């Protein structure tokens, strides 16, 4: 792909009229030539010594040949239209950019909450399970208590009592669905994951021993 970048410094006195014209007339006219598949307009965040306000408009063409067709068939007409409307009130320069590679962020967004009260309270254990530190805070699980019997004789679990005075201290962490799958693997077949409402009002996941 080729990016045809046009950087324009426009006089502040006509900036709003020019901006409206660009968005409603000029950019649609550029796209209607059929030479570009996309246009992106941005304001350049810089204080110009020369005054005025600077914008960048990036038009995407599928290849260099398509951009050349624009130069041959459409550029003169569209540039003349700009000059007739705003001549002497702007400065523009143009740059061609060849897109070599596009990479996107593949990190899944953290949109779930996980309440922990046992081994996952330990920072080193969390890093081992999730491969990073998580964003968390202290919270309470009301109406539950730590079960008197440990899973496999080693690990704690919680049980519901329905009594408000029963509370389990722990921490709630912001996690992604991929993080939850990691936690599922860590907790293993002996635990099941269920949604609960914490004292803070946060709806979170918690692990407890599977019932027979």
- Give just the sign of the alpha carbon dihedral 104, 40, 97, 29: positive
E strands in the chain: 2-10, 38-43, 53-61, 90-98, 112-116, 135-142, 144-146, 158-160, 167-175, 191-197, 203-209
Q: Are 147 and 156 within 8 A, CB to CB?
A: yes
| Stretch(es) of the chain classified as CATH 3.30.70.100 | 2-98
Q: What gap in Å lies between CA 100 and CA 58, rounded to an integer?
A: 16
State yes or no: pLDDT of 107 exceeds 70.
Answer: no
48-58 pLDDT, tens digit each: 777 899 999 99
What is the distance, to the nearest Å, from the Cα of residue 163 to the centroid of all Cα atoms in its chain?
41
User: Residue 132's pLDDT band (boundaries 50, 70, 90)?
Assistant: confident
60-96 pLDDT, tens digit each: 999 999 999 999 999 999 999 999 999 999 999 999 9
The model carries a pTM of 0.55
Specify the CATH number for 112-209; select among 3.40.50.2000, 3.40.640.10, 3.30.420.40, 3.10.490.10. Answer: 3.10.490.10
18-41 pLDDT, tens digit each: 999 999 999 999 999 999 999 999
Phi, psi of 106, rounded to the nearest 5 degrees? -100, 5
2-98 adopts what CATH topology? Answer: Alpha-Beta Plaits (3.30.70)
| Stretch(es) of the chain classified as CATH 3.10.490.10 | 112-209
């Amino acid at each position: 792909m080729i990016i045809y970048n046009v950087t324009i410094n426009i006089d502040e006195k006509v900036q709003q009229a020019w901006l409206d014209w660009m968005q409603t007339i000029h950019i649609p006219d550029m796209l209607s030539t059929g030479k570009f598949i996309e246009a992106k307009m941005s304001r350049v965040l810089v204080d110009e010594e020369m005054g005025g306000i600077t914008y960048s408009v990036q038009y995407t063409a599928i290849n260099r040949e398509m951009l050349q067709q624009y130069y041959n068939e459409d550029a003169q007409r569209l540039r003349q239209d700009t000059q007739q409307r705003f001549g002497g009130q702007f400065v523009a320069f143009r740059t061609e950019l060849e897109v070599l590679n596009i990479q996107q962020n593949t990190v899944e967004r953290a949109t779930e909450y996980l309440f922990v009260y046992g081994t996952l309270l330990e920072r080193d254990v969390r890093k081992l399970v999730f491969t990073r530190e998580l964003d968390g805070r202290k919270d309470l699980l009301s109406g539950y208590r730590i079960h008197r019997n440990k899973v496999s004789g080693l690990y704690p679990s919680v049980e519901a009592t329905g009594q408000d005075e029963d509370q389990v201290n722990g921490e709630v962490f912001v996690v992604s669905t991929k993080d939850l799958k990691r936690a599922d693997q860590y907790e293993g077949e002996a635990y099941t994951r269920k949604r609960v409402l914490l004292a803070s009002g946060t709806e979170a996941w918690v692990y407890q021993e599977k019932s027979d």
